[in-house]
Structure 1
Amino acid sequence: MKQFKVVAAIIAHENKVLCLQRGKNKYDYIANKYEFPGGKIESGETVEEALKREILEELQLDITIQKPFLIVNHNYPDFSITLHSYLCTTNTTNFTLTEHVDFKWLNKEELAQLDWAAADIPIVKSLMQTND
């Protein structure tokens, strides 16, 4: 089974968190699910470099990385991932969707109403329990 090391940005702006919806995918179990933006860490990249690069590619958005949040190991049917999530902020809500089909800015209390990709669910649950 293929193993990927990936990053995800939990992007906050004015007490709301950015949630992105994937489009169609060859893997039905992640198609149309919500996720935190990010992607694979390339050879020679630090986690932080990968995170900034992925957010620029996916959203054309500059972020400030605040701190690591949660590492999730998840096995999907066709591959497994180690997902490094980071709390991040941005000064704007202006961005361009280049890979996703929809987005929502939600309060932490509202996150559970979305249909999340399985690897992101532990992050959602932890976020909803934090006080910061």
Structure 2
Amino acid sequence: MKTIRVVAAIILADNKIFATQRGYGEFKDGWEFPGGKIEPDETPEHAIIREIKEELDTKIEVIQLLDTVEYDYPKFHLSMDCFICNVKSGDLILKEHEAAKWLTKETLYSVDWLPADQALIGKIENYLEEHA
């Protein structure tokens, strides 16, 4: 099975997490953490900074790696490095997603997460509790 390596930004502000809704492709309308594929010549940290600049016109700061999710979709294996990030500058302008929400610890389960992203929710709850 083909492995796809991606990165995801768990953007944190005021103890809330930024979630986006896919506007395209096989998983359209599912909720996810923004990000994308790692290019051959870049580190995961550089990839997430580039992807958020491209997708949301926003400059972020990587705080830490929260987790690497390994998930088998029917057609491929996903390996996703998930980073806690802060906004350095920009207004999180949606260029590829159809919607976005800021979620609190209490509302993390209020959206229909894509399966790989769903695996992170418990770890994000713990992170928010520890850093409240």
> CA separation in 1, counterparts of 2:2 and 2:79?
11
TM-score by length of 1: 0.92
Whether 1:124 and 2:121 are equivalent positions in the alignment is yes
Q: Distance in 2 between matches of 1:126 and 1:46?
A: 23
3-state SS in 1 of match to 2:82: strand
* Separation of aligned partners in 2, 1:87 and 1:54: 14
Cα deviations by residue, 1:15-55 (Å, 9 ceiling, x for unpaired): 11100000242x2xx22111001000000100111010000
Shift of 1:91: 4.7
Q: Distance in 1 between matches of 2:89 and 2:103?
A: 15
Gapped regions of structure 2 (runs ≥ 5): none
What count of residue pairs does the alignment treat as equivalent?
129
Within 5 Å, give how 1:19-98 maps onto structure 2. Answer: 19-25=19-25, 27=26, 30-91=27-88, 94-98=91-95
TM-score by length of 2: 0.92
List 4+ stretches of structure 1 deviating above 4 A.
none
Q: Percent of aligned pairs with the same residue?
A: 39
RMSD value, Cα: 1.3
For residues 44 and 24 of structure 1, do their structure 2 counterparts lie closer, same or farther at Cα, with a shift above 3 Å needed? closer
- 2:42, 2:69 → 1: CA distance? 19
Q: What is the one-letter code of the residue matched to 1:19? A: A
